[in-house]
Amino acid sequence: MRQGDPCDPLLRQVLPTHHESLQQPGFVADPLDERAARRAPGLLEKYARRALLMPTGACAIHCRYCFRRHRPVDAALDRQARAAALARLADDETVDEVILSGGDPLMLDDGQLAELIGELEGLKQLSRLRLHTRLPVVLPSRVTQGLCTLLESTRFTVVVVLHVNHAHEIDRSVVAALDDLRRAGALLLNQSVFLAGVNDDVTALAALSQALVASGVIPYYLHMLDPVEGASHFATSTACALSVVERLRARLPGYLVPRLVREDPGAQHKTALA
């Protein structure tokens, strides 16, 4: 963050402002209707062939636009709840990928993570393990040697989906952490949210894609904001996002242009917009 700049794009992502108390029609507590996809505590099955396991509700930072911002933050799964979630997962032969989400799964320590991955490895139908995490970016020291060894030694194909919205989030320590993850054999992808006042212009997004690929990360998704209560000041129009992505295409190789997507409640996959 640039000190003394109230409009800094990194500060804006985490600073609560009075705009959050504005009531806007259509902005609700659970915009993706995730309650309907809950199969066991901490287990969501909303996407075809993929299951979302949320071992903890905690994150290292609280992004003000997060669509899960109204979730209970202290909802770490205890042993019993985890066993119930895994039993349910074991019953579903169609699921071949488990996505650890949250919260942020890297809020677990290496020992807890090793235990969880070990249990998941026992489910024969699973072939891929995905981690959705912001920690390598907001706390690069979390990428320990122990974590890398764990990811290197699992039988799973490992995909790490980061969440970076602005090139300024990637400093030297982040580059080093991403390098370690890549050396451990993880495929690195990034998802961003298209956020008013943070990255809703072609220059910011082009710089982000370039900073990502320089660290071995492919820009994967650019999400439209989910209409969560308290985040309406981050909203942009689809027309604006489409026009920015069109201009990105004119500047960058195709693999550096993220897919612009929207998530519709109840849908089994994202809706591609561009």
Ligand X SMILES: *Cc1c(COP(=O)(O)O)cnc(C)c1O
* Residue 169 contact partner, candidates ligand X, ligand SF4, none, CB within 5 to 8 A by sort of partner: none
d(CA 171, CA 160): 19
Do 198 and 233 contact (CB within 8 A), yes or no? Answer: no
User: Across 107-217, where does the E strand assignment appear?
Assistant: 128-133, 157-163, 187-193
- Over its C-alpha atoms, the chain yields an Rg (Å, rounded) of 18
Cα distance between residue 164 and residue 188, in whole Å: 12
Provide φ and ψ at 189, rounded to 5°. Answer: -125, 160
The reply on whether position 50 binds ligand X by CB under 6 A is yes
Site string for ligand SF4, 110-149 (x = CB under 6 A): ------------------------x---------------
Count of residues of this chain found to bind ligand X when the rule CB under 6 A is applied: 9
- Annotate each residue in 78-97 with x if it binds ligand X (CB under 6 A) or - if it does not, as one string: --------------------
Could you say whether residue 129 binds ligand X (CB under 6 A)?
no
Cβ of residue 52: shortest distance to ligand X, in angstroms? 6
Tell whether omega for the bond before 103 is within 30 degrees of 0, i.e. cis.
Answer: yes
Can residue 229 be called a binding residue for ligand SF4 (CB under 6 A)?
no
**Cα–Cα distance for residue pair 274/271, rounded to 1 Å:** 9
Nearer to ligand SF4, 59 or 189 (CB): 59
Which CB sits closer to ligand SF4, 192 or 215? 192
d(CA 51, CA 94): 10
Position 66 contacts ligand SF4 (CB under 6 A): yes
The reply on whether position 59 binds ligand SF4 by CB under 6 A is yes
Q: Whole-number minimum distance, CB 145 to ligand X, in Å?
A: 28
- Of 44, 53, 63, 202, the residue at the interface with ligand SF4 (CB under 6 A) is 63
Rounded to 5°, the CA angle 188-50-48 comes to: 125
Q: What's the CA gap between 60 and 78, in Å, rounded?
A: 20
Should residue 47 be labelled a site residue for ligand X when binding is judged by CB under 6 A? Answer: yes
When CB distances are held under 5 to 8 angstroms depending on the partner's kind, the choice from ligand SF4, ligand X, none that residue 66 binds is: ligand SF4
What is the per-residue burial (b if ≥16 Cβ within 10 Å, else e) of 101-122? bbbbbbbbebeebbebbeebee
Q: How far is the CB of 65 from ligand SF4 (least distance, A)?
A: 7
Binding site for ligand SF4 (CB under 6 A): 59, 62-63, 66, 68, 102, 104, 134, 163
Binding site for ligand X (CB under 6 A): 47, 50, 52, 99, 101, 132, 263, 269-270
